[in-house]
Chain A
Amino acid sequence: MSKKILIVDDEPQLVEMLSIRLEASGYKVIAAGDGQEGFDKARSENPDLIILDLMLPKMDGYKVCALLKKDARYKKIPIILFTAKAQDEDRKLGQEVGADAYLAKPFEPSLLLETLKRFLGE
């Protein structure tokens, strides 16, 4: 069965592009446009991996990440932070809230796919 990936990003066009690539690579993609929706879908849809933007409406990516990582039921879901804030401080903060990896925008498609494969054990 194909793996389910949740993309949480408030840029629908970017989500669309990513979906095309991920679906072409055989993944099932679901999307959320803000932090709250992302958090809800992470719990209801039980994805295999979450690609999480940091600057999000309603609830920022750090908080979503921290909340999920605190919860024993969801903390095993790998979270890849995905953001334009590529500075060291942001990276460090991401680590502190328990994110598993970090990808800076604009990203290398090959690097994204490699990271996915690494976390999904393929």
Chain B
Amino acid sequence: MAKQKTNIAIIGGGKGGLSLIELLNGLPQVYIKAVVDKNLKAPGIVLAKKLGLPTATNWKKISKDRTLNQIIDVTGNRKNYQKLLKEKPAQANLVSGPSAKLMWLIFEQLKGAYRITRDITEKAPFGIYIVNNKGNIEYANPAMAAISGDSPRWFKNLNVFAMASYQTIGLAKKIKEALRGKHFRMQEVEFVHQLSNKRSIRNFVGIPLLEYKTPKVLMIVEDITERKKAENAIKRAVEEWDRTFNAISDLVFIQDQNYTITRVNKSFADILKMPPAQIVGKKCYELLHRTNHPWPGCPLTQAKADNQPHTAEVDDPKIGMPLLVSVSPIFDSAGELIGSVHIAKDISEQKKAEVILKATKADLEIQTWGLDKTNQAIKLLYKELAEKNRRLEELDRLKSEFVSTVSHELRTPLSITKEGISLILDGIPGEINEKQIKILTTARNNIDRLARIINDLLDISRIESGKMKLKKELVNIKGLVQQVATAFQPKIQEKGLELKVALPKEKIDIYADSDRIIQVLTNLAYNSIKFTEKGYIKIAVSEKENELECSVSDTGIGISPDNLSRLFNKFLQFGRIAGAGEKGTGLGLSIAKQIVKMHNGDMWAESPFERKKDDFGPGAKLTFNLPKYTPKAFLKEAIHLVVQAAIEKDSKVSLITVSLANKPALRQHFSDAEIESILKIMEEVLKSTLRKEEDMALKVNERVVVLLSECDQENAERVGARLKKTLDDYLALQGLREKVALNFEHLTYPDDTKHEDELLNQAIKEKQ
């Protein structure tokens, strides 16, 4: 067959033309050069325009086109057709004749009424043949010969009534009926070739052709052997898989990522005494553990967390037997976890014998298999995650910048508005009445609220972008609590509440940023007052072995379990506000928790907290802890931070240790307490002379260590000299110059030592 395209013109845009366009357009070997109709609204013309095919209103114009191979007239207008034949003798075989009739019938069967050339019949992908009333085959297309397994010539010489196979499958009988005018259709007929014994599966359609003098039958045949083969192969594979799956004596089931069972094997169904159909679709924890939440030790939960296979002993009395469960995660092509294969072994026997099997050989094999499979998927997943993470970080940075800029921009108009309202409220432009005062006061309060929101937003954005730096120093936590309690006293009294403060007797010093801890306490107290109408607010501090616990509790309306879990989320404004209260920003608790976390502590909430008196609410208690640092531990952390920063910036860190010289002499003049306070004052003096925020001065035992970030040896000596002068001046001023002698020592990272611990040890080493 020629590979060259057949250029076709279709005359007539009616129903016939329309069907022909639909049939021919897009066929690789056919190109529709024109669709002709006088009526521009003819459906064939409309479709041709939609498909971008050329159209014309007069067939004569296109008949001059020399590249046209076929002109198909579907108008049924014989006069026009005869003119066309005269003008285009080269294409005289275009329409009419048995093949055109044939195609007309085929398409009638499939689509509608039109005529087509023999050429297309010849190219049809399905078998076509015509049987006359004697059973002889009058015409067969090449596809039919191919299906039959005979040469076209041989096939044409066959008589269908004489063919044993046609008799066997009843096709001869059907063809005879068709010769009497009855259409037929036979599907998935297994056909055995007479000579080769080759089996094939075919679909047959028989169409009576009654227009001829003697009736004929048009046969359309489709060979579906290959398709059937493929279908059967899949079916067999599925059956085989099913059989294998069910033959496994271990309990096997497959779950999706939501713990829903999607498939079970026979052993598993047997042990549950339930048909598989009843098991599929249930959550494994509902079915096995009889709970409404995943079993705490569920290996799928672990696999979901790390995308790794897990093996776990599941010993839930509700199942009735101890199981060793091996879970292998299943990933989709994008590397997303979509479910898991669970293989469980009844290990009651082993248990009975008190043999603890950590992993059977089978489990190991399963794990290895699972690991191999998952490894690739995990790699892909991580790559994707890293990329996503990078983009998220960038987005986050932009967001923080945006919040910061917007917040600043908001302050100026806010100031103008507030000042305007304040001016009127203060009566400067003239007197105002009570009602006006009330309205303007509300307006001004809300401007203050807006300002609080902006501050909180800025805090959150600074925390999240890592811009918030803590200025940790030794602070007296009892003092801070007192300070906050005093500040809140009027507000609490105003609401008719009682303020209770419970502090330990001993003074507790911690290393913390005092401003930030005040902010935490303030946010907690503010929150408690907001939700408490009766009873008391209690701020308590208690000392634990390694940490300090601080709590703010109340007898307010409490927090619902639902809100309790989301309490520290940003912008959680839950509906626990009773009546018209002062609205918060929804950020206070989130900020408080984050600040505590920056201090290496944690914050949590409990509710109900208090139920002693019926007229009080259930209450809530928010607690945070802060680790207690020794000066040494604090110095260690600080050294670690500056050294890390130095490594990143490829810079240096210097330590200057200021210690008291000649201690025996010193002790003759001063008591221990006095020495202590001299050191304390020295620490303060040194602090006030520091160059930048990252630097720090810290009293550790009987010395003050000055930590200088981004400072090399040379620079350290300069700074040291300056510090010495400052201290000397100070001591002279206090009249202590003669009695107190100081030692200065320098140490630079990485010149003097490359180890953080060495820096620390050198700094605090007790000298003779």
Are A and B subunits of one complex? yes
A residues touching B (Cβ–Cβ < 8 Å)? 11, 13-14, 17-18, 20-21, 24, 55, 84-87, 92, 104-107, 109
Q: Which residues of A contact B693 (CB under 8 A)?
A: 92
Instruction: Say which residue of B408, B422, B447 sits within 8 Å of A109 (CB atoms).
Output: B422
Q: Tell me if B428 and A20 are in contact (CB < 8 A).
A: yes
B125 contacts chain A at the CB level, 8 A cutoff? no
In the assembled complex, the Cα of A105 lies from the Cα of B408 at a distance in Å of 9
Q: Chain B's nearest CB lies how many Å from the CB of A117?
A: 16
Interface pair B416/A17, CB less than 8 Å apart: yes
Q: Tell me, yes or no, whether B415 is within 8 Å of chain A by CB.
A: yes
What are 8 contact pairs spanning A and B, CB under 8 A?
A: A13-B416, A18-B419, A21-B426, A84-B408, A84-B410, A87-B458, A105-B412, A105-B415
A92 to B515, CA, bound (A): 14
Q: How far is the CA of A87 from the CA of B515 in the complex (A)?
A: 12
Q: In the complex the two chains form, what is the Cα distance from A92 to B692 in whole Å?
A: 10
In the complex, the 8 A-B pairs of residues with the closest C-beta atoms, listed nearest first: A84-B411, A106-B415, A17-B419, A105-B415, A105-B411, A24-B428, A106-B418, A84-B408
CB distance from A80 to the nearest CB of B (A): 14
Cα A16 to Cα B414 in complex, Å, equals 15
Q: Which residues of chain B from 639 to 677 have a CB within 8 Å of any chain A CB?
A: none
Query: Does B451 reach chain A (CB closer than 8 Å)?
Result: yes
Q: What CA separation (Å) do A106 and B409 show in the bound complex?
A: 11
Cβ–Cβ contact A87 & B462, under 8 A:
yes
Tell me which of B428, B429, B447, B458 contacts A106 (CB under 8 A): B447
CB distance from A87 to the nearest CB of B (A): 7
In the complex the two chains form, is A14's CB within 8 Å of B428's CB? no
B412 touches A84 (CB 8 A): yes
Question: Are A14 and B412 in contact (CB-based, < 8 A)?
Answer: yes
Q: Are A105 and B422 in contact (CB under 8 A)?
A: no
Q: Would you call B420 an interface residue if the criterion is a C-beta within 8 Å of the partner chain's C-beta atoms?
A: yes
Question: With an 8 A cutoff between CB atoms, is B423 at the interface?
Answer: yes
Q: For residue B416, give the distance in angstroms from its CB to the closest CB of chain A.
A: 5
Q: Mark B711-743, 1 if CB is under 8 A from A, else 0.
A: 000000000000000000000000000000000
Contacts of B417 in A (CB 8 A): 106
Bound CA span A13–B408, Å: 17
A84: B residues at CB distance < 8 A:
408-412, 415
Q: Is the CB of A20 within 8 A of B447?
A: no
Given A87-B462, A106-B447: A17 and B423 interface contact (C-beta under 8 Å): yes
Task: Give A84 to B412 CA distance when docked, in angstroms.
Answer: 7
A106 to B414, Cβ gap below 8 A? yes
CB-based nearest B residue for A53: B412
Known contacts A20-B428, A24-B428, A87-B458; decide if A106 and B411 are in contact (CB<8 Å): yes
Which partner residue on chain B sits nearest A14 by CB separation?
B416
- Across the interface, do A21 and B412 meet the contact criterion of CB distance under 8 Å? no
Bound CA–CA A13/B448 (angstroms): 19
Distance in angstroms from B581 CB to nearest chain A CB is 22
Q: Are A11 and B462 in contact (CB under 8 A)?
A: no
B407 to chain A, nearest CB (A): 8
| Chain A residue at minimum C-beta to C-beta distance from B408 | A84
Query: Who on chain A is nearest to B450 by CB?
Result: A106
A105 and B418 alpha carbons, distance in the complex (Å): 10
Q: Which residue of A lies closest to B422 (CB)?
A: A109
Residues of B contacting A21 in the complex (Cβ-Cβ under 8 angstroms): 419, 422-423, 426, 428
B447 neighbours in A (Cβ, 8 Å): 106
Given A106-B419, A109-B423; 15 other pairs, CB 8 A cutoff: A13-B416, A14-B412, A17-B420, A20-B423, A84-B412, A84-B415, A86-B411, A86-B455, A92-B693, A105-B414, A105-B415, A106-B417, A106-B448, A107-B418, A109-B422
- Bound state CA distance, A106 and B153, in angstroms? 101
Which of A11, A20, A105, A109 counts the most chain B CB atoms within 10 A? Answer: A105
SS class of chain B's interface: helix, strand, loop or mixed? helix
Complex Cα spacing A72 to B277, Å: 93
- The CA of A17 and the CA of B462, in the complex, are separated in Å by 32
Q: Give chain A residues whose Cβ lies under 8 Å from the Cβ of B428.
A: 20-21, 24
Q: Write the nearest CB–CB distance from B516 to chain A, whole angstroms.
A: 10
Select the residue from A13, A18, A55 with max chain B CB neighbours within 10 A: A13
By a CB distance below 8 angstroms, the chain B residues around A17 are 416, 419-420, 423
CB distance from A18 to the nearest CB of B (A): 7
**Residues in A neighbouring B416, C-beta threshold 8 A:** 11, 13-14, 17
A residues near B408, Cβ cutoff 8 Å: 55, 84-85
> Which chain B residues lie closer than 8 Å to A109 at the CB level?
419, 422-423, 426
CB distance from A114 to the nearest CB of B (A): 14
Cβ–Cβ contact B426 & A14, under 8 A: no
For B455, list chain A residues within 8 Å (CB): 86
Flag if A14 contacts B415 (CB, 8 Å): yes
Whole-angstrom CA separation of A17 from B416 in the bound complex: 7
Residue of A nearest to B425 (CB): A109
> Which residues on the A side are within 8 Å of B418 (C-beta)?
106-107
A residues in contact with B412, CB < 8 Å: 11, 14, 84, 105
State A109–B455 Cα separation when bound (angstroms). Answer: 19
* Complex CA distance for A21 and B447, rounded to whole angstroms: 19
Given the complex of chains A and B, what is the CA–CA distance between A84 and B454 in angstroms? 11
**A14→B419 contact, CB < 8 A:** yes
Report Cα–Cα, A15/B426, bound state, in Å.
18
Q: Within the assembled complex, what's the spacing in Å between the Cα atoms of A87 and B693?
A: 14
Assembled-state Cα–Cα distance A58/B763 (Å):
48
- List residues of chain B with CB within 8 A of the CB of A105: 411-412, 414-415
By beta carbon, the residue of chain A nearest B455 is A86
B408 to chain A, nearest CB (A): 5
Distance A67 CA – B597 CA, assembled complex (angstroms) = 42
Interface 1/0 per residue, B60-73 and A, CB below 8 Å: 00000000000000
With known contacts A20-B423, A87-B462, A107–B429 Cβ distance under 8 A: no
Bound-complex Cα distance A92 to B690 (A): 13
Residues of A within 8 A of B448 (CB): 106
The CA-CA distance from A104 to B411 in the complex, in Å, is 9
CA distance A109 to B447 in the complex (A): 13
B353 to A: closest C-beta gap in Å: 68
- In the complex the two chains form, what is the Cα distance from A87 to B458 in whole Å? 9
Least CB distance, A34 to chain B, in whole angstroms: 15
| Distance A107 CA – B415 CA, assembled complex (angstroms) | 7
What's the Cα separation between A21 and B429 when bound, in Å?
9
Kindly provide the distance from the CB of B338 to the nearest chain A CB, expressed in whole angstroms.
Answer: 47
Question: Looking across the interface, which residue of chain A has its beta carbon closest to that of B409?
Answer: A84
Chain B window 387-419, contacts with chain A (Cβ cutoff 8 Å), 1 for yes, 0 for no:
000000000000000000000111110111111
A85–B405 Cα distance when bound, in Å, is: 10
In chain B, what residue has the closest Cβ to A24?
B428
**Alpha-carbon distance A11/B409, docked complex (angstroms):** 12
Interface string of B459-478 (1 = CB under 8 A from A): 00010000000000000000
For A16, the closest partner residue in chain B by CB is B416
Residue of B nearest to A23 (CB): B428
A118 CB to closest chain B CB, in angstroms? 20
* Candidate in A14, A18, A55, A104 with the most chain B CB atoms within 10 angstroms: A14
* Whole-angstrom distance between the Cβ of B659 and the nearest chain A Cβ: 30
From A25, which residue of chain B is reached at the shortest CB distance? B428
CB 8 Å contact bits of B145-185 with A (1 = contact, 0 = none): 00000000000000000000000000000000000000000
> Cα distance A117–B182 when bound, in Å?
114
CA distance A17 to B428 in the complex (A): 11
Complexed CA–CA distance, A105 and B428 (Å): 21
Best-buried of B408, B419, B428 by chain A (most CB within 10 Å)? B419
**Alpha-carbon gap, A86 to B416, bound state (A):** 16
Chain A residues with CB under 8 Å of B423's CB are 17, 20-21, 109
For A112, the closest partner residue in chain B by CB is: B419
* Distance in angstroms between the alpha carbons of A43 and B197 in the assembled complex: 116
By a CB distance below 8 angstroms, the chain A residues around B409 are 84
Minimum CB distance partner of A15 in chain B: B416
B residues near A14, Cβ cutoff 8 Å:
412, 415-416, 419
Roughly how many angstroms separate A20 CA and B423 CA in the complex, as a whole number? 8
A2 CB to nearest chain B CB (Å): 16
